[in-house]
Amino acid sequence: MGIFHHWDTDGIASAALILKKYKDQIAAMMTPRIGFYSEEAINIMSVPRDVDYVIFLDYGINGEDYERIHGKLNKPLIVIDHHLAEPWCNSGDSIYCNPVALGVGDEAEYPSTTYLLSKILGVKDEHDVMLIALGIIGDLAPYFDAGISHRGLEYFRKLVINTKVDMITLRRAADILDSCYRIYNGVCIEHVVRKLAFENIEAIMGDAYLFKTYNLSKEIMLKALKNLDKVFSNVKISVYYLCMDAYVTSYVGRKLAKDNPDKIIVLVHEIPRIGGGFIYIRSIKRTLKSLIKNLRKEGFKVGGKEKVAVIEFMGSYKDTLRRVIDELEVDA
């Protein structure tokens, strides 16, 4: 089998769970193009020809994208995810498991793909529990940091209470894992997947290579916060702009959401090296379901969950930003 997994902590921990259980059957571990949620972000040529099927973990793209990927690969797909997306009505040889997209559960019930995998694979040992908890805290870090309740954090605490690993250590580990994608380091991502699969959390915390990556990432994130501009604000929405060649979009957006829990945060992150960037929208308290649904209907490439959305843009972002603001203002 081949595996594509999301680049963040939940995607990494999900891949580690699968690798730990099926290590002798996995021919390739791959990551979509960092920051992009679309068929084009999948490098079809990286999939070994002799694999029988390809697994997609925690990658929040729509069903039509999976349909096109399925046609290009001409192999069965197994999709396991918890993102808010348009579901895939596959052709019959594939498996699509996303209870949030299918409308049989919500993000509170399925706070991470690792949590969903725990229901599919079963929890076998403390190592599995650690990986499941790591995925949850990776996705729910803004709630944890801001001290805001979430059903997923209740699951997290119940998992951790019976292990030797404490919540703060796992929260710090999530930052270390996420530092890999923040500096566009795909080698680092695959390094940490294998380390998580076959070693313990202490190995992550004590890894010199990851420590160096984390420190570099931290310097970049501090620089990003200093270069951040607030361009618009009202009672419910605050819009910020950042121009920087590093994928710190989610870090900055999460930080802004934590500091402004009553606001909807809109971050325009322009990345010169790719000739475009991302518009990141996050709310601690308000759902973004209608925003995501309406923008997808209009052809925008939008990834996200119930309270976070990421929209790709190439060239100018102004028309896309104007459309986002209009939608948020109407929904406000």
**Model pLDDT for residues 31-47, shown as the tens digit of each residue:** 999 988 889 999 999 99
Residue 189 maps to a domain: yes
Task: Please list the alpha-helical segments (H only) found in 227-317.
Answer: 249-259, 289-297
Residue 332 pLDDT exceeds 70: no
* Residue pair 114/85 in contact by the 8 Å Cβ criterion: no
Q: Please give the torsion angle defined by the CA atoms of residues 319, 322, 327 and 332, in that order, rounded to the nearest 10 degrees.
A: 170
Residues 62 and 145 in one domain: yes
Which has the closest alpha carbon to 213: 233, 189, 235, 194? 189
Residues 116 and 176 in one domain: yes
Q: Please give the torsion angle defined by the CA atoms of residues 127, 131, 136 and 138, in that order, rounded to the nearest 10 degrees.
A: 130
pLDDT band per the 50, 70, 90 thresholds, residue 68: very high
Domain boundary among 175, 192, 215: 215
Query: Rounded to an integer, what is the distance from CA 318 to the centroid of its chain?
Result: 25
Residue 291 pLDDT exceeds 80: yes
Mean pLDDT computed over every residue of the chain? 92
Residues 302 and 176 in one domain: no
How far apart are the C-alpha atoms of 154 and 134, rounded to whole Å?
13
Residue 77 maps to a domain: yes
pLDDT for position 56: 98
Residue 52 pLDDT exceeds 90: yes
pLDDT band per the 50, 70, 90 thresholds, residue 10: very high
In this structure, what CATH number is given to the domain that contains residue 47? 3.90.1640.30
**Residue 151 domain boundaries:** 2-215
Residue 274 is given by DSSP the state G
**Site of tokens 């990776």:** 138
Residues 293 and 145 in one domain: no
Q: Is 32 helix (H, G, I), strand (E, B) or coil?
A: coil
Residue 146 pLDDT exceeds 90: no
Domain boundary among 154, 189, 215: 215
Residue 220 maps to a domain: no
CA distances in angstroms from 36 to 41, 56, 284, 302, listed in the order given: 6, 15, 23, 9
Share of the chain above pLDDT 70, in %: 99
pLDDT for position 331: 62
Residue 312 maps to a domain: yes
Residue 282 maps to a domain: yes
Report field, pTM of the whole predicted structure over 0.75: yes
Residue 163 pLDDT exceeds 90: no
**Site of tokens 């680092």:** 188
Domain boundary among 171, 190, 215: 215
Query: What are the CB-based long-range contacts (under 8 Å, 24+) for 66-71?
Result: 66/90, 66/94, 66/96, 67/91, 68/39, 69/39, 69/42, 69/44, 70/94
pLDDT for position 115: 96
Residues 65 and 143 in one domain: yes
Residues 192 and 234 in one domain: no
In this structure, what CATH number is given to the domain that contains residue 300? 3.10.310.40
Residues 31 and 56 in one domain: yes
The amino acid present at 142, given as its one-letter code, is: P
Residue 102 maps to a domain: yes
Residue 318 pLDDT exceeds 70: yes
**Model pLDDT for residues 231-244, shown as the tens digit of each residue:** 988 888 999 999 99
Residue 137 pLDDT exceeds 90: yes
Residue 222 maps to a domain: no
Residues 66 and 129 in one domain: yes
Residues 204 and 298 in one domain: no
Residues 72 and 159 in one domain: yes
Residues 82 and 197 in one domain: yes
pLDDT for position 95: 95
- Total domains in the fold of the chain: 2
**Model pLDDT for residues 183-213, shown as the tens digit of each residue:** 889 999 999 999 999 998 889 999 999 999 9
Residues 159 and 253 in one domain: no
More confident residue, 136 or 84: 136
**Model pLDDT for residues 72-93, shown as the tens digit of each residue:** 999 999 999 999 889 998 768 9
pLDDT for position 4: 97
Residue 221 maps to a domain: no
DSSP string, 135-184: HHHHHSHHHHHHT---HHHHHHHHHHTTSSS-HHHHHHHHHHHHHHHHTT
Query: What average pLDDT score do residues 299-326 get?
Result: 89
Residue 172 pLDDT exceeds 80: yes
Helix (H) or strand (E) holding 241: strand 237-243
